[in-house]
């Protein structure tokens, strides 16, 4: 939508440019990526809402679309047109959520595109129906952050209220996954693209936490309780309590959200902490039956990103213990390379580093020099495209996955804005 690039946006861009070092590599990538989402990824529909392409896949992910819009919140404080765009995106997200709270990605129209042969309850609007807790969390957070940073309240309409009710119903159901109607199977040769046990996933015991079929990478969970996703759920349940007791008046929703939040928090404390190399550390996944997975993934919510999405402070000792593990070779998905070192993912080739993780490392650091160093790592590994990719070989950045990955683009933009002091207030 090229019409969004008006004089106000151009002035904003010029201010960013003048605030950066004389080395203009940082700005060139920012200009390319920040404007790319506005001009290429947004499509207004005939319902007055906004569909967001994830990039080179013609679908809208609930998670990605929220992350793609978050770096525009500082601009939205003064630009009503951009603020209205975010409202329209939230409107579409809650339309999607009301259609099916278990789906993670949606079509622009009810055209039956996507993974229609999956063995789950598909529909013409749904591109993919992998249940991921963050698909419910991210839209709630975007709506809250827009309000908290700009005072905007138009997003809190009847669809928002009904969507929140569905969030709570789904969370409560998946605290007891054994009785859930949800299952998912895909006929494929990739084990992480389907759920075992007849589509129900590996067995779990009750913990108070929410079961998740898939990680934010869209890979299947090894164990059903994904700790960072449950952390994110705690955060958005806090938001719900605040919004429905101040902006909206629904005391029964506040009571329900408070109860679920407390149960999840207790589950994280009881099952999500492990002793690792003499330090108390968060696990990545558990099942409540004694099994624990020690790793982290580049996609957010991750353990690394806990302060970014509002669960803990960066100087919290438990977080620092966990961060030390994540950013070391003890983490099986932390890779060393000639051009940079960082976290990868089982979702992409072994040894490939994710720019998302580099950006999140910077966004969860209190060191300005670390932020700047990571910004330069990002701009020098685009293989000359001046676009941020999904992942790349840290020994040869010309080898990368996904030439157009809008979430990665916008995470670079958010880190650069954060470095310049334009932080999104949580």
- Exposure pattern of 334-350 as b/e (b: 16+ CB <10 Å)? bbebeebebbbbbbbee
Q: Tell me what pLDDT residue 23 has.
A: 86
Inform me whether the pLDDT recorded for 22 exceeds 90.
no
First-to-final CA distance of the chain = 28
Sign of CA dihedral 279, 283, 287, 293: negative
pLDDT band with cut points at 50, 70 and 90 for residue 132: very high
Averaged over 105-117, what is the pLDDT? 98
The three-state secondary structure class of 52 is strand
Residue with tokens 């969860």: 364
Report in angstroms the alpha-carbon separations of 39 from 36, 52, 187, 193. Answer: 5, 11, 36, 32
Domains of the chain, first to last: 2-419 (1.50.10.10)
Orientation of helix 62-69 relative to helix 80-99, angle to 10°: 170
Q: Please compute, for residue 5, the number of CA atoms within 13 A of its CA located in the half-sphere on the CB side.
A: 15
Inform me whether the pLDDT recorded for 297 exceeds 90.
yes
Q: How confident is the model over 202-242, as pLDDT tens digits?
A: 999 999 999 999 999 999 999 999 999 999 999 999 999 99
Specify the pTM.
0.98
pLDDT band with cut points at 50, 70 and 90 for residue 45: confident
Strand 396-401 and strand 391-393: the pairing is: antiparallel
Q: How confident is the model over 374-417, as pLDDT tens digits?
A: 999 999 999 999 999 999 999 999 999 999 999 999 999 999 99
Question: Using a CB cutoff of 8 Å and minimum separation of 24, what contacts does 244-248 make?
Answer: 244/164, 247/147, 247/153, 247/156, 248/156, 248/161
Cβ–Cβ under 8 Å, residues 177 and 200: yes
Q: Tell me what pLDDT residue 322 has.
A: 98
pLDDT band with cut points at 50, 70 and 90 for residue 191: very high
Residue with tokens 């982290």: 296
Q: Tell me what pLDDT residue 33 has.
A: 98
The three-state secondary structure class of 232 is helix
Q: Tell me what pLDDT residue 359 has.
A: 98
In DSSP notation, 348-362 reads S-TTPBPHHHHHHHH
Tokens representing residue 207 in the block: 């913990």
Q: What percentage of the chain carries pLDDT values higher than 70?
A: 100
pLDDT band with cut points at 50, 70 and 90 for residue 118: very high
């Amino acid at each position: 939508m090229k019409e969004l690039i008006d004089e106000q946006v151009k002035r904003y861009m010029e201010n960013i440019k003048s605030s950066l070092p004389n080395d203009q590599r940082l700005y060139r990538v920012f200009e390319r990526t920040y404007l790319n989402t506005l001009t290429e990824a947004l499509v207004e529909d005939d319902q007055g809402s906004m569909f967001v392409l994830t990039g080179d896949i013609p679908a809208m992910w609930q998670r990605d679309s929220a992350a793609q819009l978050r770096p525009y919140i500082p601009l939205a404080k003064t630009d009503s047109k951009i603020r209205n765009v975010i409202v329209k995106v939230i409107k579409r997200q809650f339309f999607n959520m009301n259609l099916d709270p278990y789906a993670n990605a949606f079509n622009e129209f009810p055209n039956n595109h996507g993974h229609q042969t999956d063995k789950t309850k598909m529909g013409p609007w749904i591109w993919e129906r992998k249940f991921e807790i963050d698909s419910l969390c991210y839209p709630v957070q975007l709506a809250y952050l827009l309000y908290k940073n700009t005072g905007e309240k138009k997003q809190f309409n009847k669809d928002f209220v009904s969507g929140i009710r569905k969030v709570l119903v789904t969370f409560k159901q998946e605290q007891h996954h054994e009785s859930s109607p949800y299952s998912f199977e895909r006929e494929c040769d990739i084990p992480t693209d389907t759920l075992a046990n007849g589509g129900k996933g590996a067995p779990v015991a009750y913990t108070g936490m929410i079961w998740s079929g898939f990680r934010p990478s869209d890979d299947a969970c090894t164990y059903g309780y994904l700790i960072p996703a449950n952390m994110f759920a705690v955060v958005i349940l806090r938001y719900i309590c605040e919004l429905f007791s101040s902006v909206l008046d629904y005391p029964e929703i506040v009571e329900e959200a408070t109860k679920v939040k407390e149960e999840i928090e207790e589950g994280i404390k009881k099952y999500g902490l492990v002793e690792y190399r003499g330090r108390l550390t968060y696990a990545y996944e558990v099942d409540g039956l004694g099994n624990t997975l020690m790793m982290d993934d580049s996609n957010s919510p991750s353990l690394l990103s806990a302060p970014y999405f509002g669960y803990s402070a960066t100087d919290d000792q438990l977080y620092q213990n966990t961060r030390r593990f994540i950013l070391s070779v003890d983490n099986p998905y932390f890779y060393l390379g000639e051009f940079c070192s960082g976290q990868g993912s089982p979702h992409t080739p072994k040894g490939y580093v994710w720019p998302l993780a580099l950006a999140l490392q910077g966004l969860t650091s209190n060191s300005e020099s670390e932020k700047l160093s990571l910004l330069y790592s990002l701009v020098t590994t685009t293989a000359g495209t001046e676009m941020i990719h999904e992942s790349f070989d840290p020994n040869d950045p010309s080898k990368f996955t996904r030439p157009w990955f809008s979430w990665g683009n916008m995470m670079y933009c958010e880190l650069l804005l954060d470095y310049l002091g334009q932080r999104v207030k949580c």
